[in-house]
Amino acid sequence: MKKKVTIIGLGYIGLPTAAVFAKSGMEVVGYDINKKVIEALNKGEILIEEPGLEDLIKEVVSNGSLRGINVLEESDVFIISVPTPINEDKTADLSYVKSATESIINIIKPGNIVVLESTSPPGATMEVASILEKSGLIIGEEVFVAHSPERVLPGRIIKELVENDRIVGGINEKSAELVKEIYSVFVKGEIFTTDSKTAEMCKLMENTFRDVNIALANELAILAENIGINAWDVIKFANKHPRVNIHQPGPGVGGHCIAVDPWFVIENQPEGHLIRQAREINDGMPERVLNRIMSIVKNGNAKVTLMGLSYKPNVDDTRESPIIKLVELLKERTNYQISLHDPHVDKDRFKYKDLLIDSIDEAVENSELMVLAVNHNEYKNLDFERIGELMLKKQVFDTRNFLSEEELIKLGFELTLLGRN
């Protein structure tokens, strides 16, 4: 079964999806409004960081299985993988999804399949189907529509696209079965079919489950600081119970999934109190970290260094990163000299690139506090003896319980730990 597959949106999910479809033997074209993305793709290059992706892109571009296009063309399958940002009122911005759908109205033909991969609130796939009705074709009989959300972890996307189970939610049974057949060319996990709203809610609830658990851990960290105990010890010992798995606290929750999806679940819903409260706890963590920093550094003009900017370790993705929120709070509410370091984030694509320092030595020089904000692997074996010589004060605030307290104390540092007073 060789079909022509068009991926609309070549971001963190769309580009890897295009690559694995091409590797499986499909003819694949990728479309994106960002011309730099298309230019890079057609050279066999990528603009994002993901292990294994660049080599795979080079392979499928060089053998002609994948190419980038600036103008959409006829295809057998259209997969919409565009962003679904969140509005200021915490509702989903479906403008990119709607625009992508509108762009294929005049080129879809009988027998075509349209898949919405973008994470969306319940009902979005039916909205896509309604827009496609403008083509004059019978949706569900001549054009088949479904939602099939990705369920992958950045840093493991190529592997998990292939190996993870997948959900396909069709606007009708025929749509679900046809889309299942398309994905079966590369998915080794089991593919489950259901209706589109159920599939949409499944993806959202997977991330909501994690968000609520992280909120529980963050609330424990807050209580532990108030009581005078170590939240990390509580979690370690509590998780010895065979049916307990408390997640880890931190400076907030980021990424386009966990920080956003719970809001889509409760969009326009008067209920959902637990989900809403969990979001508020996690969204409030950057401010708590700010207050802790201000309690450590009394000098209002001091230099403060943040180590790590991405929303999770060992990736370059800063979408919804709580550390970016922390930077904004520091700029708004303090006169600190702010120095930033991250070995993964591209300075040219970063909003505060004037604050981002390539050299760790330069980033920490004359600083009164180093904040370990993201636990990148590169930070595990930092030369703290040298760092201590460069800093004005030997003070470290570890928000991830990542650094060796024994080593830091031995070198004369004062260590503050999130979740411990």
Give catalytic status of residue 257 as yes or no.
yes
pLDDT above 80 for 1:
no
Residue (of 248, 319, 254, 334) closest to 286 by Cα position: 254
Which pLDDT band, with edges at 50, 70 and 90, does 131 fall under?
very high
Angle at 195 between CA 193 and CA 200, to 5 degrees: 95
Average pLDDT, the chain: 96
| 374, 309 Cβ separation under 8 angstroms | yes
Strand partners, 339: 305
Q: What is the CA radius of gyration of the chain?
A: 23
Backbone torsions φ then ψ of 377, nearest 5 degrees: -55, -35
Q: Report pLDDT digits (tens) over 167-184.
A: 999 999 999 999 999 999
Question: How far from each other are the two terminal CA atoms of the chain, in whole angstroms?
Answer: 61
Q: Which one-letter amino acid corresponds to residue 304?
A: V
Residue (of 201, 157, 147) closest to 51 by Cα position: 157
pTM (2 decimals)?
Answer: 0.90
pLDDT above 90 for 350:
no
Give catalytic status of residue 380 as yes or no.
no
Q: What are the CA-CA distances from residue 102 to residues 80, 127, 151, 301, 336 (Å)? A: 11, 11, 26, 52, 48
Cα 28 from Cα 33, distance rounded (Å): 17
Q: Report pLDDT digits (tens) over 15-69.
A: 999 999 999 999 999 999 999 999 999 999 999 889 999 999 999 999 999 999 9
Q: Which of 23, 180, 257, 325 is catalytic?
A: 257
Strand partners, 395: 414
The tokens describing 11, both together, are 């971001």
Strand partners, 193: 168
- How confident is the model over 332-352, as a mean pLDDT? 92
Q: Report pLDDT digits (tens) over 366-395.
A: 999 999 999 999 999 999 999 999 999 999
pLDDT above 90 for 351:
no
Q: Which of 23, 180, 203, 303 is catalytic?
A: 203
Beta-strand pair 303-307/337-341: parallel
Cα-Cα-Cα-Cα dihedral sign, residues 86, 262, 155, 361: positive
Residue 93: enclosing H or E segment and its boundaries?
A: none
Share of the chain above pLDDT 70, in %: 100
The tokens describing 384, both together, are 């703290």
Token pair 């999804």 in the structure block, residue = 97
Would you state the pLDDT for residue 421? 86
Cα 47 from Cα 65, distance rounded (Å): 20
Hey, what domains does the chain have and what are their CATH numbers?
4-203 (3.40.50.720), 230-421 (3.40.50.720)
Contacts of 356 (CB under 8 A, 6+ apart): 309, 340, 341, 342, 345, 347, 350
Q: Report pLDDT digits (tens) over 253-262.
A: 998 889 999 9
| 335, 300 Cβ separation under 8 angstroms | yes
Contacts of 287 (CB under 8 A, 6+ apart): 329
